[in-house]
C-alpha cells in the first residue's frame, strides 16, 4: 500500500504529534508499505525522498516560530498526485491538511483523519485575552474547521474516548474509531542503556549520583502548566536531596527561568533546552519520577514514554489519562495543585511506594507498542478504502 501522512509539523521538531507520525511511518514500513510524509519546510533537515516538504511561510508569533503555513495549497496537488497514494492519513486541520482535502475532492483518494489537539481546553493556555473576549467566535471557527475534515474523512481516529466524546458533542457525524498512539517502547526501556552513560550524562548536567531527579519532558509552553510543578518543587526542595530536570524548549522558557529565580531555586532546577530526538530515550533514564500538570493532552505520549522507562508518574488528573495511568499502581494523580507537594515528598520518602510504581510502570503500557499502533492504523486504512469503493 502507498500511504501519505499529512502533517504541518515533523522532525526535527519534537512533539507528541511528530513522535506519533514517525512511529507510525516506521511501523508501517516494517510491514512492507511505502510511506510518504507530506509536511512543511523546516530548518536543519536532511534530504529524504520519502519526506515531501512544501515551502511554507513562518507564522509571525514567537510561540509558533517553528511552524509554517503553506499558501495556495491547491497548487501542490499535481506534485502529491504523482505519488499515486492509495490512502491519505491527515494529522492536521491546517494548511497541509488542506492539500489532502483538495486531493480527496479532486481525485477521490480515501482519507483518514486523526484528531490530535483539544482546542476546547487548549485556547485558554495559548491566550487568556482571546479566550476571554473571542472564545465564542474562535470555537465556532475551530468546530467548523473540524467539521470540514471529519465530514470528508472516511474514518476519523481519536486516541481516547475523551476526544471522541468531545467531537460528538460538536454534533459532527462521522465514522469514529479509537486508536491509541503507539511508540517504540524499547527505545525507552532502562535495560537497553549503559549505566555508565547515564551517570556520565548526569554528571555533565551537574546532577550527583545520589540525588533524586524529578523530570519533565516536553514543549516549554504555557498550556503545559509547568509553573505548577515549579511552585510545588520549591515548597519541598529545601528538605530533599533532589533536582528538577526540565527537558525541552519552547516559547515559555524565559518566563520559567524568571520564575525559578523568584522562587530562589536556581541551584535545584536544570534546563537542558532543545535535545535531539535520538537522545530522548537516554534523557528519560535520568529521572526517578516524571511530573506533568497539563490538562490539554489528547493522550499523553510523554507519560507513556516515562512509564516505558520504568519511571513512576505524578500528573494532574485528566479523564483521557485513565487509559494510561492506573492510580497507585503505576502512577499518582493530583486533583488540586495544593496536593502536589505532598506527593513529591511521598515518592521521595516512601521507597515501598516508589518501587511498586516502578515495577508496574513498564508492564502497564504494552498495548501502546509501535506494532499495535501500525496494525490498528492499517485496519482503519483498509476500512476507508472499502468505504470509498462502496460509495
Check whether 126 has a pLDDT greater than 80.
no
The confidence band for 124, taking pLDDT boundaries of 50, 70 and 90, is: low
Q: Which residues, 6+ apart, have CB-to-CB distance to 154 below 8 Å? A: 110, 111, 112, 175, 383, 384, 385, 387, 388
Check whether 61 has a pLDDT greater than 80.
no
Q: Which residues, 6+ apart, have CB-to-CB distance to 8 below 8 Å? A: 39, 40, 67, 68, 92, 94, 95, 96, 97
Strand pairing category for 34-40 and 51-54: parallel
Rounded distance, CA 250 to CA 246, Å? 11
The confidence band for 259, taking pLDDT boundaries of 50, 70 and 90, is: very high
Based on the domain organization, do 131 and 275 belong to the same domain? no
Rounded distance, CA 110 to CA 154, Å? 7
194-224: per-residue pLDDT in tens?
Answer: 999 999 999 999 999 999 999 999 989 888 9
Based on the domain organization, do 192 and 129 belong to the same domain? no
Check whether 63 has a pLDDT greater than 70.
no
Q: Residue 27 maps to which CATH number?
A: 3.40.50.2000
Based on the domain organization, do 69 and 149 belong to the same domain? yes
The confidence band for 113, taking pLDDT boundaries of 50, 70 and 90, is: very high
CA dihedral for 119, 120, 122, 123, sign (positive or negative): positive
Based on the domain organization, do 312 and 219 belong to the same domain? yes
Rounded distance, CA 363 to CA 350, Å? 21
Residue 252 parent element (H or E): none
Based on the domain organization, do 382 and 296 belong to the same domain? no
Mean pLDDT of the region 13-22: 84
Based on the domain organization, do 271 and 249 belong to the same domain? yes
- The grid coordinates of residue 118 equal 483539544
Q: Find out whether 198 and 282 touch, Cβ atoms under 8 Å.
A: yes
pLDDT, residue 13, reads 80
Q: Find out whether 385 and 33 touch, Cβ atoms under 8 Å.
A: no
Based on the domain organization, do 128 and 236 belong to the same domain? no
Q: Find out whether 180 and 367 touch, Cβ atoms under 8 Å.
A: yes
Mean pLDDT of the region 268-274: 96
Mean pLDDT of the region 50-54: 95
Based on the domain organization, do 39 and 51 belong to the same domain? yes
Based on the domain organization, do 60 and 171 belong to the same domain? yes
Name the average pLDDT for the chain.
91
**Which residue has cell 530522548?**
280
28-44: per-residue pLDDT in tens?
Answer: 999 999 999 999 987 77
pLDDT, residue 183, reads 87
**Count of residues for the chain?**
391
Check whether 45 has a pLDDT greater than 60.
yes
What is the domain count for the chain?
A: 2
Rounded distance, CA 340 to CA 290, Å? 12
Examine residue 45 and say whether the peptide bond preceding it is cis (omega within 30 degrees of 0).
Answer: no
Rounded distance, CA 215 to CA 292, Å? 9
Based on the domain organization, do 206 and 336 belong to the same domain? yes
Rounded distance, CA 97 to CA 149, Å? 8
Q: Which residues, 6+ apart, have CB-to-CB distance to 292 below 8 Å? A: 216, 218, 224, 229, 300, 302, 303, 313, 315, 316
Strand pairing category for 155-158 and 111-114: parallel
- The grid coordinates of residue 224 equal 503545559
DSSP annotation of 5 reads E
The confidence band for 348, taking pLDDT boundaries of 50, 70 and 90, is: very high
Q: From the CB of residue 276, how many other CB atoms can be counted at a distance below 10 Å?
A: 11
Question: What domain range includes position 30?
Answer: 2-182+369-390
The confidence band for 134, taking pLDDT boundaries of 50, 70 and 90, is: confident
Based on the domain organization, do 129 and 251 belong to the same domain? no
Based on the domain organization, do 232 and 337 belong to the same domain? yes
Strand partners of residue 157: 114, 177
Task: Give the phi and the psi of residue 211 in degrees, each rounded to 5.
Answer: -90, 140
Examine residue 12 and say whether the peptide bond preceding it is cis (omega within 30 degrees of 0).
Answer: yes
Amino acid at each position: 500500500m502507498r500511504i501519505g501522512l499529512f502533517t504541518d509539523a515533523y522532525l526535527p521538531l519534537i512533539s507528541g504529534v511528530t513522535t506519533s507520525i514517525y512511529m507510525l511511518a516506521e511501523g508501517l514500513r516494517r510491514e512492507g508499505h511505502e510511506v510518504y510524509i507530506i509536511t512543511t519546510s523546516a530548518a536543519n533537515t536532511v534530504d529524504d525522498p520519502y519526506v515531501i516538504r512544501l515551502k511554507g511561510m513562518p507564522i509571525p508569533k514567537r510561540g509558533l516560530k517553528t511552524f509554517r503555513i503553506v499558501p495556495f495549497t491547491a497548487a501542490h496537488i499535481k506534485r502529491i498526485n504523482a505519488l499515486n497514494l492509495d490512502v491519505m492519513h491527515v494529522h492536521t486541520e491546517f494548511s497541509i491538511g488542506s492539500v489532502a482535502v483538495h486531493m480527496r475532492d479532486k481525485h477521490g483518494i480515501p482519507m483518514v483523519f486523526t484528531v490530535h489537539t483539544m482546542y476546547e481546553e487548549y485556547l485558554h493556555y495559548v491566550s487568556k485575552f482571546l479566550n476571554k473576549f473571542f472564545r465564542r467566535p474562535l470555537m465556532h471557527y475551530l468546530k467548523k474547521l473540524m467539521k470540514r475534515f471529519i465530514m470528508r474523512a472516511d474514518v476519523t481516529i481519536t486516541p481516547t474516548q475523551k476526544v471522541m466524546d468531545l467531537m460528538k458533542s460538536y454534533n459532527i457525524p462521522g465514522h469514529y474509531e479509537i486508536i491509541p498512539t503507539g511508540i517504540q517502547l524499547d527505545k525507552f526501556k532502562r535495560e537497553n542503556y549503559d549505566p555508565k552513560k547515564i551517570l556520565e550524562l548526569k554528571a555533565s548536567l551537574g546532577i550527583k549520583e545520589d540525588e533524586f531527579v524529578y523530570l519533565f519532558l516536553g514543549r516549554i509552553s504555557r498550556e503545559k502548566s509547568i509553573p505548577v510543578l515549579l511552585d510545588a518543587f520549591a515548597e519541598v526542595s529545601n528538605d530533599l536531596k533532589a533536582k528538577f530536570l526540565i527537558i525541552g524548549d519552547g516559547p515559555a522558557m524565559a518566563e520559567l527561568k524568571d520564575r525559578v529565580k523568584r522562587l530562589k531555586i536556581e541551584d535545584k532546577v536544570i534546563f537542558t533546552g532543545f535535545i535531539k530526538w535520538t537522545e530522548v530515550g537516554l534523557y528519560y533514564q535520568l529521572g526517578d519520577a516524571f511530573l506533568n500538570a497539563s490538562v490539554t493532552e489528547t493522550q499523553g505520549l510523554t507519560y507513556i514514554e516515562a512509564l516505558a522507562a520504568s519511571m513512576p508518574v505524578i500528573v494532574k488528573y485528566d479523564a483521557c489519562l485513565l487509559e494510561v495511568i492506573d492510580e497507585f499502581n503505576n502512577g499518582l494523580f493530583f486533583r488540586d495543585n495544593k496536593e502536589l507537594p505532598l506527593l513529591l515528598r511521598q515518592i521521595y520518602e516512601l521507597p515501598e511506594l516508589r518501587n511498586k510504581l516502578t515495577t508496574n510502570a513498564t508492564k502497564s503500557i504494552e498495548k501502546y507498542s509501535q506494532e499495535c499502533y501500525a496494525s490498528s492504523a492499517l485496519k482503519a486504512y483498509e476500512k476507508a478504502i472499502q468505504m470509498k469503493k462502496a460509495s
